[in-house]
Structure 1
Amino acid sequence: MEDLRVFRRVVDRYGDRTALVTADATTRTYGELGRRTDALASALDARIGDARTASLLRNGPAAIEMMLAAQKRGRANAQLSFRGAAGELDRMVRTAEAEALVYDAANAEMAEAVLDRSDLDVALYVGDDAPDRPEVESYEAAVESADADYDAVEDPDAETGVLYTSGSTSEPKAILEDQRRVWLASSQAVMEMRLGPDDVALVTTPWYHDVTTVAWIYPHLQVGATLVLQPEFAPPETMRLLDEHDVTGLLAVPAQLEALLDADSEGDYDLSSLSYVRTGGAVVSPSLVERVRERMTEGVHNTYGLTEGIANLTHAYPTEQLESPGTVGNASFNWDLRVVEAAEPDETPDPTATVDRGETGELIGRGPFADGYLNSPEAEARLFVDGEWLRTMDVAHVDEHGRLHIVDRVDNMLVSGGENIYPQEVELALADHPAVREVAVVGVPDEEWGERVGAVVVGDVDPDALDEYCRDHDDLADFKRPRSYVVTDDPLPRSDTGTLLRSEVRERYFSR
């Protein structure tokens, strides 16, 4: 409701200003965006009543329009991953109870495989020459022929989107987001990054992720800024768009920032307009922050969140990175956080058992988190602690300045010779080596120690030199030092949010 009220005000105030720019420089004003989303909401109501929708789209105008139309309808739009398989996507559609699918030409083959599996009889195709299928209509024709005088839902508890967890270790689970919590998340980002109508933000992370939706797209629309839409991340093209459109803001996960730094070294790009980079999604090494500050912008904002939290739980301002390198900062505006004694994944941590500063424990949070998972009661039972705390399953510690650092996942811990080791601690130490571009640490079965620490390093470096480096590292105890190294030129397997896929690393490099 509040997002819609503010969006109407933006349309009234900035109707002639550019809201969206595509990769081929096609533009759409706020006035056009307002009219088209009214018409789209009308078109969807006419076809499916008050049912939910699902979208399989690349970053583009239709994705933004579907988000806004869902808000106006008060019925959620399920934002599907364009990297999903047909069976997985079909389950997502069924879980969301969607009755219409909107898809674009880039995803036509996969979308039609989903249609073949489902009982959907309404689909809108974004692009020229809609396929000859009885359930498929032209998206553009549907919008152009619909009534643009739409009476939007006025209810802060109305639905807005169904988003999915990344599914790096299990089947993706669905989160139903409502207008009130999305508004809080969006407003939080506006305050944290001090956004205004003169900002130009590049959207290169997939729009179906929670952080892209609530911490990037909605906040910039809320203030009347311009969104430059890149269909899919490609480092040289991303750098070109940053330069060509005088982009002021970039959202990118650490692996993307590494790729952009490589692209920057190979081209001649003007990034003088870039004033803020928002990152997160994986542990950000101090060395990466330093290189981004030197070559892209000093305005590096490090954040931490999870889909179940809707809003980001923490935020670290650029100046905090100098005093506490790698920190995710402190609790964001709407959150209370605690670091408590970690419990096994199938056990429940005690919310009163807080750990001392400097000690590691599990992070739990109290704030405007999701009510639970759609149609997944077994997983939902492990989500909450005492009914009021969200269990993150992430291990963290608080440094001497009172700032949080994410250490690892609870279920990533390995035990070597009776000692508990969190892989990301070792990865951060190795990432400081100047020849290391990427690193993954996993537990490798060992007859004597139970598990030994194995490291896969992307870079031009000798394993013996790495071992000596780890022996001399001030922040790495000797029992945490890797006993096995693999050096490779191949990029490490990651999810599209930048999450390291450790099971694939272990299988690929240490199964022999």
Structure 2
Amino acid sequence: MRLADYFDAAASLYPRNIAFVDHGQHIDFAQAQRLVHATAHALIAEEGLPPRAHVAIYSPNDYRVSLLQVAANRAGMVWVSVHTRNAIETNLAVMAYADCDAVFFHSAFANLVPAMKAGLPRVRRFVCIDAPSAFGPSLADWIAPWSRPFVAPPEQATIPAMLQPTGGTTGPSKGAVHTNRSLEMALISVFETLGFDAASRVLAVAPLTHAACMLTLACAARGGRTVVLDGFEAGKVLECIEREGITHLFLPPTLVYALLDDPRLGATHVASLRCIAVGAAPIAPEKVKEAVRRFGPVIYEVFGQSECLFPVVAKRPEDYLLSDGSFDEVALASAGRAVPFARVEILNEDGSVAGPGVKGEIVVRSTMVMQGYYRKPAETAEVSTGGWHHTTDVGVKDERGFITIVDRKKDMIVSGGFNVFPSEIEAVILSHPAVLDCAVIGVPDQKWGEAVKAIVQLKPSCSESGESLKVVLAQRCKDALGSVKAPKSIEIWPELPRSAVGKVLKRDIRARFWEGHWRAV
């Protein structure tokens, strides 16, 4: 079935269930379905939009983002995700590359619409999703003539449904095209892995235009409730968990660390939580232990990519918690095991599947894998060699099937002829209680070629001297990993640069140290 078919099934079963809570507004499934169907009618009736139009959604977190995604799917169109934290120039490049035909924008970004209209001549329609606007009709007015059920044609499983840009803050890079079939399998994987049902209550904090939308859409497809926040603030998140009885939450590791460091956590009732799904980057094992102590056995880790959605690999509490309450350290350090709907292996350099304990590239086969990169056949062929999706992540798989992500191929440091993978150094640094986050990179060095350098962000509550802490962290790494892998230098920054979805931007950090050098590695 299509995403929209799952949503209609939930609306049929639970019409009076609350589907979304947003700034005190409660929207039940019957109301949500009416908006979806009317929007689908309006999209198809809109003069000038092609049958499989590409529809961009340019908005902060708002319940209408999820409903527009469902509406585009109901109309047989393709939604294009736009990261609002990117510069407008970057997003113009993204939307131009994606051949967008219509743009739904939030009033918070109305000031950017003139630049969009000037830079995107292909776009036929701009609609403001939340308010009247001088730059296009409001969504409410635009769909008002179409308030009736939408009868969908039979599903076409292999037509595109979503275009997810894979670039960061510097350009459009590539866009992963997902079909009705791959989107459906991702929903099923989320259902099975994270345990959604009609009693589920998701707190949407991470951007709904990116990976977090999969939790919201999966929750809606099961008849559950999503509570929307338009940004992360630890106190508001904790208060919302307690007030709304939140069961599911998706966060990148850095925001989990921020919750753990907030003094209000101890006084917050969090017993409703069933799942904190951590994704976008690996979470340090010591932080998982701390999170289990503070939140209970509800910490999941999910691994995926724009190209294969998520989860294709998952780590559940039962994977790393032993019957006596202690931790299985090997499982804890891993990303988890392949979910039932994906085959995940480690590949040797010659393209053969590696045996247990052998380091190589992590590859995936699954219905969740994208159809390809939009208008980039050469790049699609390269990443699909041998019938596998090549993640460019380096990992090891053990006899039990646990996959440990060692690093990304492009992040590897070659220091004095030795291959050094930053993630294992970062794990040691993150185990120190004063550290909020860190990034380890290679910097130019006349003797070593590349020297290992750590950039550290401390917790706001840290009272230790920065200089003394550098010495402690360097020795900690040396004791745990040896002198080759220990950082040759450490810097403490007030903030690490991050992408629109909270990932630390190592390329931006590296650029500061490699500028003016004839090589970048």
1:240 and 2:243 matched: no
CA distance in 1, matches of 2:263, 2:377: 46
- Evaluate the alpha carbon distance shift between residue 170 and residue 378 of structure 1 in structure 2; reply closer, same or farther with a 3 A threshold: farther
Instruction: Report the CA distance between 1:82 and its aligned residue.
Output: 0.9
2:39 maps to which residue?
A: 40
1:373 maps to which residue?
A: 373
1:503 maps to which residue?
A: 507
1:278 maps to which residue?
A: 277
CA distance in 2, matches of 1:170, 1:399: 37
Amino acid at match of 1:358: G
1:307 maps to which residue?
A: 306
Q: Given that residues 84 and 500 in structure 2 are in contact (C-alpha distance below 8 angstroms), is that contact kept between their aligned partners in structure 1?
A: no
Q: How does 1:432-451 map to 2 (within 5 A)?
A: 432-451=431-450
Please report the TM-score for the alignment, with normalisation by the length of structure 1: 0.91
Q: How does 1:35-434 map to 2 (within 5 A)?
A: 35-47=34-46, 48-50=49-51, 51-119=53-121, 120-131=123-134, 133=135, 136-155=136-155, 156-167=157-168, 171-209=172-210, 211-214=211-214, 216-265=215-264, 268-321=267-320, 322-323=327-328, 324-341=331-348, 349-352=349-352, 354-368=353-367, 369-386=369-386, 388-399=387-398, 401-434=400-433
Amino acid at match of 1:335: A
Q: Given that residues 200 and 248 in structure 1 are in contact (C-alpha distance below 8 angstroms), is that contact kept between their aligned partners in structure 2?
A: yes
- Evaluate the alpha carbon distance shift between residue 129 and residue 213 of structure 1 in structure 2; reply closer, same or farther with a 3 A threshold: closer
CA distance in 1, matches of 2:502, 2:373: 23
CA distance in 2, matches of 1:231, 1:223: 23
Q: Deviations over 1:142-198 (max 9, x none)?
A: 122224221223222233221111426764321222111111110111111221111
CA distance in 1, matches of 2:251, 2:500: 11
Amino acid at match of 1:60: D
Q: Deviations over 1:13-49 (max 9, x none)?
A: 1001100000x21011001111111001111111125
Instruction: Report the CA distance between 1:266 and its aligned residue.
Output: 6.8
Q: Given that residues 320 and 327 in structure 1 are in contact (C-alpha distance below 8 angstroms), is that contact kept between their aligned partners in structure 2?
A: no
1:465 maps to which residue?
A: 472
**Which of 484, 501, 505 is equivalent to 2:489?**
484
CA distance in 2, matches of 1:176, 1:284: 28
1:344 maps to which residue?
A: none
2:519 maps to which residue?
A: none
CA distance in 1, matches of 2:359, 2:76: 42
CA distance in 2, matches of 1:140, 1:267: 43
- Evaluate the alpha carbon distance shift between residue 193 and residue 127 of structure 1 in structure 2; reply closer, same or farther with a 3 A threshold: closer
CA distance in 2, matches of 1:356, 1:170: 38
Q: Deviations over 1:342-384 (max 9, x none)?
A: xxxxxxx4321x3342332111111121121112234323211
CA distance in 1, matches of 2:365, 2:484: 35
CA distance in 1, matches of 2:9, 2:263: 38
Q: Given that residues 80 and 208 in structure 1 are in contact (C-alpha distance below 8 angstroms), is that contact kept between their aligned partners in structure 2?
A: yes
Q: Secondary structure at the match of 1:313?
A: strand
- Evaluate the alpha carbon distance shift between residue 264 and residue 19 of structure 1 in structure 2; reply closer, same or farther with a 3 A threshold: farther
Q: Secondary structure at the match of 1:305?
A: strand
Q: How many residues align?
A: 494
CA distance in 2, matches of 1:166, 1:228: 28
Amino acid at match of 2:154: E
Q: Given that residues 235 and 264 in structure 2 are in contact (C-alpha distance below 8 angstroms), is that contact kept between their aligned partners in structure 1?
A: no
Instruction: Report the CA distance between 1:400 and its aligned residue.
Output: 5.8
Amino acid at match of 2:505: L
Q: Deviations over 1:65-101 (max 9, x none)?
A: 1111111111111121112222322222223222111
CA distance in 2, matches of 1:166, 1:242: 32
Instruction: Report the CA distance between 1:240 and its aligned residue.
Output: 2.1
Q: Secondary structure at the match of 2:185?
A: helix
Deviates more, 1:400-409 or 1:163-172: 163-172
1:345 maps to which residue?
A: none
Amino acid at match of 2:345: R
CA distance in 2, matches of 1:49, 1:483: 57
CA distance in 2, matches of 1:403, 1:429: 20
Q: Deviations over 1:381-437 (max 9, x none)?
A: 321112x10010001112464311111110111111110111111111221122222
**Which of 493, 496, 499 is equivalent to 2:497?**
493
Deviates more, 1:417-426 or 1:115-124: 115-124
Amino acid at match of 1:163: Q
Q: Given that residues 126 and 140 in structure 1 are in contact (C-alpha distance below 8 angstroms), is that contact kept between their aligned partners in structure 2?
A: yes
2:324 maps to which residue?
A: none
Amino acid at match of 2:472: A
Amino acid at match of 1:82: T
2:15 maps to which residue?
A: 15
Q: Given that residues 372 and 383 in structure 1 are in contact (C-alpha distance below 8 angstroms), is that contact kept between their aligned partners in structure 2?
A: no
Q: Please provide the CA RMSD for this pair.
A: 2.0
CA distance in 1, matches of 2:507, 2:271: 40
Runs of 5+ unmatched residues, structure 2 = 321-326, 459-463, 517-521
1:3 and 2:3 matched: yes
Amino acid at match of 1:212: A
Q: Given that residues 72 and 153 in structure 1 are in contact (C-alpha distance below 8 angstroms), is that contact kept between their aligned partners in structure 2?
A: no
Q: Secondary structure at the match of 2:101?
A: strand
Q: Secondary structure at the match of 1:448?
A: coil
Q: Secondary structure at the match of 2:60?
A: coil
2:461 maps to which residue?
A: none
CA distance in 1, matches of 2:406, 2:169: 18
